[in-house]
Amino acid sequence: MSRNLTVKRNCASSFRFAIGLILIVLFGILQPAWAQSPEHLQSFNISPLQEGRFFLLAKKPGEALKVFKGLWQREPHNSYAVRGIVRSYQALEKLPEAISLLNRYLEKNSQSSSAAYGLGYAFYFQERFEESRRFLKKALNFDRENALALNNLAAVLVELKKYASALKRVKEAINIAPNELMFYRNLQMIYTRSGKPDKFEEEYRHLLAEGFPAKAKVYGLVLAQQLRQKSFKMYVEGKIDETINMIVSMLDLYREINHEPGIVAGLFSLAVLYEEQGKAELALEKYREVLKINPRHIQAREKLRSLKQKKD
């Protein structure tokens, strides 16, 4: 087999592995996640926001746009729906249409925080940072609790190199929505851009040590996600041992914060990698660990049965 063919097969396998793991974590899908398609979403009890995000992940921005527009029509104060609309138009490479839509809406609904936020978000994508800041401040004048506007304003302030103000804004967003992962990712980015790349993990360790598990958990989820992304990259590059080490570190984080879905996904990933390496005993051990935590994990059960048959 040529090296190019091997690389292509590894990349294809990596894609299935990565998408499968993401969908397992996000939606708890128990059958092979890479076999799912947006057409099967009605089988799962998910919100319109999750449905729209799924369509974006599946590179179907037109379908996502329909979902987000419908949600915003029903819930005009929902800034998350507007965020989805802007992201969908961006994926369609039609961001000016989003700006036109939001401007028209704001003309008729002059106190709409969600529309003002959407314009600020769209201008941010266009790197029109002063205009973005103006509309985000307007959104906050209409609704001081618009956490998405606060978070986006923090990102704009970073681009304008106003790091102290950015940190203040993102912390305000976190106080309003303490479980929103994107705000913590933004916080980490601000620390990095301001020359304090270790500050985020230091805060995580401090929260753990001081007995604030709920706060520490969100920090830990962000750090674990980054390790997972790095493991995908290493896997694609064929660095299997490094991939395993990265997933083990990710598992340690998930165990520190007692995040069962992440632990299950990490153990399953390790089992798959060990199986690919021909390390059947290690793979069996990890599949059993998965089933001990989640006895209904269909993939692990099928893998375990298949591996036992091969051994027998």
**Inside any domain, residue 233:** yes
Q: What is the pLDDT of residue 128?
A: 98
Cα–Cα distance, 130 to 134 (Å, whole number): 6
Cα–Cα distance, 65 to 86 (Å, whole number): 9
**Inside any domain, residue 177:** no
Q: Would you state the structure tokens that stand for residue 280, as one six-digit string?
A: 């059947």
Cα–Cα distance, 204 to 72 (Å, whole number): 35
| Domains of the chain: total | 1
Cα–Cα distance, 90 to 92 (Å, whole number): 5
Cα–Cα distance, 183 to 152 (Å, whole number): 9
Q: What is the pLDDT of residue 29?
A: 34
Q: Which residues of the chain have pLDDT under 50?
A: 1-41
Residue 44 DSSP label: S
Cα–Cα distance, 168 to 13 (Å, whole number): 43
* Torsion sign, CA atoms 186, 191, 195, 200: negative
**Inside any domain, residue 152:** no
Residue 31 DSSP label: S
Cα–Cα distance, 287 to 254 (Å, whole number): 17
Cα–Cα distance, 306 to 249 (Å, whole number): 28
Whole-model pTM over 0.75? yes
**Inside any domain, residue 223:** yes
Q: Would you state the structure tokens that stand for residue 271, as one six-digit string?
A: 């089992």
Q: What is the pLDDT of residue 309?
A: 83
Neighbours of 253 (CB within 10 A): 23
Cα–Cα distance, 66 to 64 (Å, whole number): 5
156-195 per-position pLDDT tens digit: 999 999 999 999 999 999 999 999 999 999 999 999 999 9
216-228 per-position pLDDT tens digit: 999 999 999 999 9
CATH of the domain at 211: 1.25.40.10
**Inside any domain, residue 295:** yes
**Inside any domain, residue 149:** no
Q: What is the pLDDT of residue 26?
A: 40
- CA 28 to chain CA centroid, Å, is 14
- Radius of gyration for the alpha carbons in the chain, expressed in angstroms and rounded: 22
- Smallest CA-to-CA distance from 218 within 247, 264, 187 is with 187
Neighbours of 151 (CB within 10 A): 26
**Inside any domain, residue 288:** yes
List the domain range (segments joined by +) for residue 224: 1-32+198-312
- Kindly report the three-state secondary structure assignment for every residue of 116-128: HHHHHHHHHHCCC
Nearby residues of 299 by Cβ (< 8 Å), 6 or more positions away:
30, 31, 32, 268
**Inside any domain, residue 135:** no
